[in-house]
């Protein structure tokens, strides 16, 4: 008549999201309906946690009486006297209870939904679990709730895990994008560096040739002009044809101008020579490894390359560059890369001054003479600072945090890549273990502060 399974403590269950009713503590307490109802009373008193009793007739399931329904009914006047000694069948027929039957392979999540669909007066009744072999067992509704709450905790934990994984994946993607950008830019810079170095080399030969010969040209012309003077001194009255030729070529003017002209050609070639030097300095292909260099030289050669951009082609407006260089120690760095960062930041300063950036809200700012200030200082024994400030249009607060994002640009479509600052950031921060900060006030200007250690961490 009676069989009781060992009941596991619901809290010790090792549940998964897809756990089924089989994994929960189930009661197998059966009573034949021919037995008197008082037997049920005895069983309920012996097993205080027993949620209900399965009733059978010749070992076939016929119904179920829960602890709550049993005592509720038996506590009514006369009920006990009326039913206690009679076969339980009478009580079952009288109560005519609806039972919620769920198959044992139903998931706990599904089962709780089915159980909660019951009418409210039956909401806390135990659930009859049907096994694959066609047997029945009882599940305390409280146990089902408990299991469900455990699964919910599990779901939340897994959700957090998924969120964490997606965060890691996103960060990975960002890294990948950054690396790709860097690789692309490195490739571009290497190619550009090669090109620049090649051109510099090609220009250098003929320019050295001109510069070398100009010295002699100057001397020879001076000699020839002296000789002409000598002739004029000793032959003040030359033939008419010579006098005509002197008048035609305006000898006096030629004498003054010719030497000036040659001198300015010399200055010109010296300038080309400087630019070639700057180009070589900038590309520094042969110096892609670290070197100990004078940072000021790098800034100066970068400035020289940007010289032509300091004048606005349309308005003729000219940017003044003020340099305040402190004495700096030599810095161990990747000079080619650092020059690239200086170049990017200086080019932006020029763009900002000449209004090449398009911000939708632009405060009307006082007209001011365009200025770029470059200041350097060493802050301690191990670090130097380079400040590059412009008095351009400034950067709105909400955009300041996006400056170093790859592809962030406020230039009109097709004009800017939005890569320069992110590359500069990588060069200063990743490559040199330094810092790159930006201070800006809209309408007043912007300052980029580069802090780098004077020794590179290997
Ligand atoms: N000195 C500055 N003043 C004002 N805005 C600046 C300054 N420097 C950078 N910015 C802002 O940061 C953005 C990103 O700069 P970045 O150099 O990366 O790209 P870009 O200048 O737009 O394009 P590219 O450098 O390819 O020409 C610019 O579009 C601009 O909005
Ligand atoms: Mg730029």
pLDDT reported for residue 195: 77
User: Residue with the nearest Cα to atom 27 of ligand 1?
Assistant: 416
The arithmetic mean of pLDDT across residues 18-30, rounded, is 91
Percent of the chain past pLDDT 70, that is, above it, reads 91
Q: Which residues line ligand 1 (CB under 6 A)?
A: 344, 348-349, 351-352, 357, 390, 392, 395, 403, 408-411, 416-421, 446
For ligand 1, atom 9: residue with the closest CA: 348
Taking the centre of ligand 1 as the mean of its atom positions, its distance from the CA of residue 292, in whole angstroms, is 30
Burial per residue of 284-318, b for 16 or more beta-carbon CB atoms within 10 angstroms, e otherwise: bbebbebeebebbebbbbbbbbbeeebeeeeeeee
Three-class SS of residue 233? helix
Ligand 1 center from residue 334 Cα (angstroms): 23
Fold classification of 10-139 (topology level): CBS-domain (3.10.580)
Shortest-distance ligand to the CA of residue 419: 1
User: Cα–chain-centroid distance for residue 293?
Assistant: 32
CA–centroid distance, residue 439 to ligand 1 (Å): 14
What average pLDDT score do residues 350-356 get?
87
Residue 388: nearest ligand to its CA? 1
> Relative to the alpha carbon of 358, which ligand is closest?
1
Structure tokens, 115: 């159980």
The ligand 1 atom at the shortest distance from the C-alpha of residue 409 is: 29
Q: Look at the pTM and tell me if it is higher than 0.85.
A: no
**178, 181, 351: residue to mutate for ligand 1 pocket, most atoms within 8 A of CB:** 351
Using the atom order of ligand 1, give the atom closest to the CA of residue 445. 3
Counting ligands in written order, which one lies closest to the CA of residue 411?
Answer: 1
In terms of phi and psi (left: phi > 0; alpha: psi -120 to 50; beta: otherwise), the region of 251 is alpha
75: left (phi over 0), alpha (psi -120 to 50) or beta: alpha
Q: Whose CA is nearest to atom 20 of ligand 1?
A: 418
| CATH of region 290-458, choose from 3.30.565.10, 3.30.70.1230, 3.40.220.10, 1.10.150.20 | 3.30.565.10
pLDDT tens digit sequence for 252-311: 999 889 988 988 898 888 878 877 776 776 665 445 678 899 999 999 989 988 988 899
Q: What Cα–Cα distance (Å) separates residue 285 from each residue in 184, 334, 359, 421?
A: 17, 11, 37, 21
Average pLDDT of the segment spanning 390-402: 91
pLDDT on residue 366: 58
Which atom of ligand 1 is least distant from the CA of 390? 1
| Whether pLDDT at 5 is above 90 | no
% of the chain surpassing 90 pLDDT:
43
Q: What is the pLDDT of residues 157-199, one digit of tens each?
A: 888 999 888 888 888 887 787 777 767 766 666 676 677 778 8
Q: What is the pLDDT of residues 26-59, one digit of tens each?
A: 999 999 999 999 999 999 998 888 999 999 999 8
Q: Give, to the nearest 10 degrees, the angle between helix 141-234 and helix 335-353.
A: 90
């Amino acid at each position: 008549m009676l069989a009781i399974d060992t009941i596991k403590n619901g809290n010790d269950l090792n549940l998964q999201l897809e756990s089924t009713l089989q994994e929960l503590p189930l009661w197998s307490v059966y009573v034949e309906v021919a037995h008197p109802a008082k037997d049920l009373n005895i069983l309920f008193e012996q097993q205080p946690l027993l949620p209900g009793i399965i009733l059978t007739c010749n070992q076939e399931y016929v119904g179920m009486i829960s602890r709550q329904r049993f005592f509720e009914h038996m506590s009514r006047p006369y009920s006990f006297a009326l039913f206690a000694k009679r076969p339980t069948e009478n009580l079952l027929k009288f109560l005519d209870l609806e039972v919620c039957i769920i198959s044992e392979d139903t998931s706990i999540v599904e089962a709780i939904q089915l159980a909660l669909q019951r009418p409210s007066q039956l909401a806390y009744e135990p659930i009859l679990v049907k096994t694959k072999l066609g047997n029945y067992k009882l599940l305390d509704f409280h146990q089902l709730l408990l299991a469900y709450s455990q699964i919910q905790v599990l779901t939340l934990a897994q959700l957090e895990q998924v969120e964490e994984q997606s965060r890691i994946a996103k960060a990975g993607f960002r890294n990948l994008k950054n690396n790709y950008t860097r690789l692309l830019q490195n490739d571009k810079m290497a190619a550009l560096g090669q090109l620049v170095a090649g051109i510099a080399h090609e220009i250098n030969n003929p320019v050295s040739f001109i510069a070398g010969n100009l010295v002699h040209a100057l001397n020879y012309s001076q000699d020839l002009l002296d000789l002409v003077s000598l002739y004029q001194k000793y032959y003040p009255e030359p033939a008419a044809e010579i006098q005509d030729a002197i008048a035609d070529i305006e000898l006096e003017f030629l004498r003054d101008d010719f030497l000036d002209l040659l001198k300015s050609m010399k200055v010109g070639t010296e300038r080309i020579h400087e630019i070639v030097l700057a180009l070589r300095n900038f590309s520094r292909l042969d110096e892609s490894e670290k070197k100990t260099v004078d940072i000021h030289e790098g800034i100066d050669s970068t400035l020289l390359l940007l010289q032509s951009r300091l004048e606005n082609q349309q308005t003729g407006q000219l940017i003044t560059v003020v340099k305040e260089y402190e004495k700096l120690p030599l810095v161990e760095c990747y000079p080619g890369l650092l020059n690239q960062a200086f170049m990017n930041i200086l080019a932006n300063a020029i763009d900002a001054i000449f209004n090449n950036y398009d911000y939708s809200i632009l405060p009307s700012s006082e007209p001011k003479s365009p200025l770029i200030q470059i200041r350097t200082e060493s802050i301690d024994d191990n670090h130097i600072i380079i400040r590059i400030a412009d008095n351009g249009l400034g950067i709105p607060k909400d955009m300041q945090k996006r400056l170093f994002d790859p592809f962030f640009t406020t230039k009109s479509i097709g004009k800017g890549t939005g890569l320069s600052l992110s590359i500069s950031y990588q060069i200063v921060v990743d490559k040199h273990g330094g810092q790159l900060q930006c201070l800006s006030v809209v309408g007043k200007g912007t300052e980029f502060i580069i802090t780098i250690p004077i020794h590179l961490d290997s």
